[in-house]
């Protein structure tokens, strides 16, 4: 077993250290030990670093960060049959109890006892060696890179959002926010058949990337007047969209989503911002605009992997910056500030 295991450990607000952590022992019969390869930085990782908490999840003791990840099987538990040493795998970071009603009903993302990487108190996998449940590791085809494997995690959010939204052939879709999650929602919506997609953001560089990824329309947000922006969306799209996927969590953007969505349409809340916001709920109610939330994803990794493996979706343009594990502090600063037009920052643990 490996003697060194460098990891990115968060001790508290703005206190991230790169240090040696304990090496994994022998895996349980249903586990694998992984030599980590690629780990993406998520907005939640940055929030834990800068705020020390997300909602009621509070960093109270040192925690290894990282959950958008792929690695190479280093050791295999005695009961694992579908993986072998040397296999390249994507890691679905949430392992549920498998026994509760949510798990048995297929909605394991709602399991109250889920163990999720880099969500207090559970350690993540931004380190050199890490142990995970084997059935939540997905073998990558030879032509799919480990970087693409790491991006299966945010792409699965896009898959779950578009499934909850009912995106299908011919759908017209507004996506609020062109950060990494907004962009994977764009890619997924197009792959699922959306024919008219508009995406909004406050940054031109992200809208430029959105156009490269297939958005028919982009809209730079230069006002907080939601009704006015909703009218501009309708003019650009030739009518109000069937579906809005809100990825920013900003109050004004949620308001925009309600005003912009056509009567009888659907709005899905993906972005997480303030715990409470003011929204035009009567407008949504009398126009029968359905509002749904999502929490992570369930049963989405296989489809996300197939989307990449088949060539239907290309996530590689999302990666704007690459760093080594030893450069993690610089990587997080780049992600936090958006320096150099950063969209998705990837850390190599090899």
Domain ranges of the chain: 6-151+315-348, 155-293
The pTM of this model reads: 0.96
Question: What integer pLDDT is reported at residue 1 of this predicted model?
Answer: 57
**Ranges of residues in the chain whose predicted pLDDT is under 70:** 1-2
Q: Using one digit for the tens of pLDDT, what is the confidence trace for 160-172?
A: 999 999 999 999 9
What's the rounded Cα separation, in Å, for the pair 229 and 332?
Answer: 33
Question: What integer pLDDT is reported at residue 121 of this predicted model?
Answer: 95
User: Would you state the structure tokens that stand for residue 251, as one six-digit string?
Assistant: 């109050």
Q: Using one digit for the tens of pLDDT, what is the confidence trace for 45-97?
A: 999 999 999 888 999 999 999 999 999 999 999 999 999 999 999 999 999 99
6-151+315-348: CATH architecture: Alpha-Beta Complex (3.90)
Residues 6+ apart with CB under 8 A from 145: 316
Please give the CATH topology (third level) of the domain spanning 155-293. Answer: Rossmann fold (3.40.50)
Q: In what order do the strands lie in the sheet with 243-246?
A: 217-220, 196-201, 172-176, 243-246, 266-269, 290-293
What's the rounded Cα separation, in Å, for the pair 180 and 195?
Answer: 21
Residues 6+ apart with CB under 8 A from 245: 161, 162, 165, 173, 174, 175, 176, 182, 185, 189, 267, 268, 270
Through-space distance between the first and last CA atoms of the chain, rounded to whole angstroms: 16
Beta bridge pairs of residue 12: 15
259: three-class secondary structure by DSSP: helix
What's the rounded Cα separation, in Å, for the pair 62 and 10?
Answer: 5
Question: What integer pLDDT is reported at residue 82 of this predicted model?
Answer: 96
Question: What integer pLDDT is reported at residue 170 of this predicted model?
Answer: 98
């Amino acid at each position: 077993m490996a003697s060194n295991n460098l990891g990115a450990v968060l001790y508290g607000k703005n206190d991230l250290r790169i240090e040696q952590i304990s090496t994994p022992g022998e895996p349980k019969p249903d586990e694998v030990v992984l030599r980590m390869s690629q780990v993406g930085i998520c907005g939640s990782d940055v929030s834990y670093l800068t705020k020390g908490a997300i909602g009621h999840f509070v960093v109270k003791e040192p925690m290894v960060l990282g959950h958008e990840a792929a690695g190479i099987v280093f050791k295999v538990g005695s009961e694992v049959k579908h993986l072998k040493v040397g296999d390249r795998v994507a890691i679905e970071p949430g392992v549920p109890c498998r026994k509760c009603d949510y798990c048995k009903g297929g909605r394991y993302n709602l399991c109250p006892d889920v163990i999720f990487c880099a969500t207090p108190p559970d350690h993540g996998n931004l380190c050199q060696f890490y142990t995970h449940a084997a059935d939540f590791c997905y073998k990558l085809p030879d032509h799919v890179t480990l970087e693409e494997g790491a991006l299966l995690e945010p792409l699965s959010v896009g898959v779950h959002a578009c499934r909850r939204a009912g995106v299908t052939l011919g759908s017209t879709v507004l996506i609020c926010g062109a950060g990494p999650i907004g962009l994977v929602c764009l890619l997924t919506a197009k792959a699922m058949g959306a024919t008219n997609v508009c995406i909004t953001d406050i940054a031109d560089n992200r809208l430029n990337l959105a156009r490269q990824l297939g958005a028919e329309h982009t809209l730079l947000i230069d006002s907080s007047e939601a009704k006015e922006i909703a009218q501009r969306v309708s003019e650009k799209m030739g009518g109000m969209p069937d579906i809005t996927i809100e990825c920013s969590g900003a109050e004004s953007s949620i308001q925009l989503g309600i005003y912009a969505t056509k009567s009888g349409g659907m709005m899905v809340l993906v972005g997480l911002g303030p715990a409470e916001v003011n929204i035009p709920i009567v407008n949504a109610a009398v126009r029968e605009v359905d509002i749904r939330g999502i929490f992570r994803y369930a049963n989405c990794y296989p489809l996300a992997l197939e989307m990449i493996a088949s060539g239907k979706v290309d996530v590689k343009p999302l990666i704007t910056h690459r760093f080594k594990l030893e450069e993690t502090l610089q990587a997080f600063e780049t992600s936090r500030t958006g320096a150099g037009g950063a969209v998705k920052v990837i850390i190599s643990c090899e």
